[in-house]
Amino acid sequence: MIIAASCCCGPNEKGDRCRGGSNITDADGRLLAELWDEEGVILADVDPPQALALRAGNPTWQRITAEKVWAGSSCRRSKSKRG
């Protein structure tokens, strides 16, 4: 799985300092790019076919579908609570 995670940097709504820590991780777990303690944009080249090949070789990932991930998402639950 290729992961791109973004995090806030600077003071949050309570005034606490957020360090950021945005990153892009390749399908094999290698950290490709990260950014701490400043605002910015990170870029990295990823290999989607590699992610699919690793997924095909892992029985756990073979059972996980986008529908199952979305069904368990807190975003989906919070939307359904609003009516």
Q: Is the pTM of this model over 0.75?
A: no
Q: What is the pLDDT of residues 22-75, one digit of tens each?
A: 999 988 888 999 999 998 999 999 888 888 888 888 777 777 776 766 676 555
Q: E strands within 12-70?
A: 17-25, 31-36
Closest by CA position to 26, among listed 7, 4, 42: 4
Q: Name the phi and psi angles at 71, rounded to 5.
A: -60, -30
pLDDT band at 79 (very low <50, low <70, confident <90, very high): very low
Q: Dig out the tokens for 32 from the structure.
A: 């490709």
Domain count of the fold of the chain: 1
The domain containing residue 77 runs over which residues? 3-81
CA angle centred on 44, ends 5 and 76, rounded to 5°: 30
d(CA 79, CA 14): 25
